[in-house]
Amino acid sequence: MGVSGLLWAVRALVILQFVTGILGWGKEGHYATCKIAEGYLTAEALAAVKELLPESAEGDLANVCSWPDEIRFHYHWSSALHYVDTPDFRCNYEYCRDCHDSSGRKDRCVTGAIYNYTNQLSSLYQNSKSESNYNLTEALMFLSHFIGDAHQPLHVGFLGDLGGNTIQVRWYRRKSNLHHVWDNMIIESALKTFYSSDLATMIRAIQNNITENWSNQQPLWEHCAHNHTVCPNPYASESISLACKYAYKNATPGSTLEDDYFLSRLPIVEKRLAQGGIRLAATLNRIFASHVKIAQA
Ligand SMILES: *[C@@H]1O[C@H](CO)[C@@H](O)[C@H](O)[C@H]1NC(C)=O
Ligand SMILES: *[C@@H]1O[C@H](CO)[C@@H](O)[C@H](O)[C@H]1NC(C)=O
Ligand SMILES: *[C@@H]1O[C@H](CO)[C@@H](O)[C@H](O)[C@H]1NC(C)=O
Ligand SMILES: *[C@@H]1O[C@H](CO)[C@@H](O)[C@H](O)[C@H]1NC(C)=O
Ligand SMILES: *[C@@H]1O[C@H](CO)[C@@H](O)[C@H](O)[C@H]1NC(C)=O
Ligand SMILES: [Zn+2]
């Protein structure tokens, strides 16, 4: 590789890092969310999921949960669907006010996309004679990814700083931005520090916590008001509230984030991965519950 090739590669990496920062939990976070969800699927839902999975998944939903990040250049229209912004310094979220893309088109945000892909999957399933106009393999991969994104606190962040993307910070010695810290760095540091760099071990620790420490909360996490199939609005409200309380707190531009920040925020991240997984499973279980008239979202 010549010098220009090398420069190109470096630039591509920088761009990739920047774009990944915008677009959701990193690969590990999405894998964890979907892996946790798999453990809570009913037999019916698991069968329906396996039928829809592309071959590249090798029968495992977790293997394709980052697919929407991988196709973002090709499906340019989908990039606004990974997040929702609130007005600056407003620590609450409202669907009508906030769910639109940068040119103001309504419903084009992460919560709108969760309704969209849930409706595509459940309308086909309840009416098996109708042919769907949509690619339901893609609908499944989008839904699984976006339920994860909605649980990353800075995916429901302030408009002015693009959910923390423009807040430059240091993560220990490394230059980063606040959004990327929440997508990737907290999880990566946790893997190195506590889980011998093994994602499966970290996922097992979270799964143990679900059964041991959070078992009484699990039914509340699963529940959707009015028996709706899916309910992304409370997830987004929780996220912006956590963003204000933990993500933005003590993380002003130019600050260096180290042990104090890492150790106090890691439990938040682990709980959000758990909630995302439980809620993805509950949503898929409701979508694929046979012979039950499901209230539309
Ligand atoms: C809904 O899904 C279709 C098919 O992927 C897509 O074209 C459309 O942009 C989506 N809209 C939203 C709001 O998610
Ligand atoms: C549905 O989407 C998947 C993933 O993009 C693709 O591989 C497959 O060919 C699509 N199926 C149809 C019928 O277009
Ligand atoms: C449950 O929480 C307690 C107290 O925070 C902790 O000591 C214990 O290790 C947790 N259990 C699991 C499985 O993580
Ligand atoms: C929700 O569903 C449960 C069980 O199917 C039913 O007992 C309950 O009345 C429903 N609640 C509402 C508000 O529809
Ligand atoms: C388990 O739960 C405890 C108490 O909520 C929390 O402090 C800890 O960080 C959690 N660990 C994991 C791996 O989720
Ligand atoms: Zn994303």
Q: Please write the tens of the pLDDT for every residue from 100-114.
A: 999 999 999 999 999
pLDDT at 130: 59
Tell me what percent of the residues of the chain surpass a pLDDT of 70: 87
Q: Which of 162, 124, 151, 157 is nearest to 287 (CA)?
A: 124
Report how far ligand 4's centroid is from the alpha carbon of 196 (Å).
45
Residue 27 φ/ψ region, left for φ over 0, alpha for ψ in the -120 to 50 degree band, beta for the rest: alpha
Nearest CA residue ID for atom 4, ligand 1: 134
Measured between its terminal Cα atoms, the distance across the chain in Å is 53
Which residues are near ligand 6, the ion (C-beta closer than 5 Å)?
23-24, 82, 149
Q: Mean of the pLDDT values across residues 187-205?
A: 98
With b for 16 or more beta-carbon neighbours within 10 A and e for fewer, the 5-26 pattern comes to eeeeeeeeeeeeeeebbbbbbb
Which of 20-29, 67-76, 149-158, 259-268 is predicted with the least confidence, judged by mean pLDDT? 20-29
Q: Mean of the pLDDT values across residues 135-152?
A: 98
3-class state of residue 163 by DSSP:
coil
pTM: 0.90
Report how far ligand 5's centroid is from the alpha carbon of 270 (Å).
7
- Contact in structure between 270 and 263 (CB atoms under 8 Å): no
- Contact in structure between 178 and 169 (CB atoms under 8 Å): yes
Nearest CA residue ID for atom 4, ligand 2: 138
Report angle CA 43, 69, 74 to the nearest 5 degrees.
Answer: 115
Q: Mean of the pLDDT values across residues 64-90?
A: 96
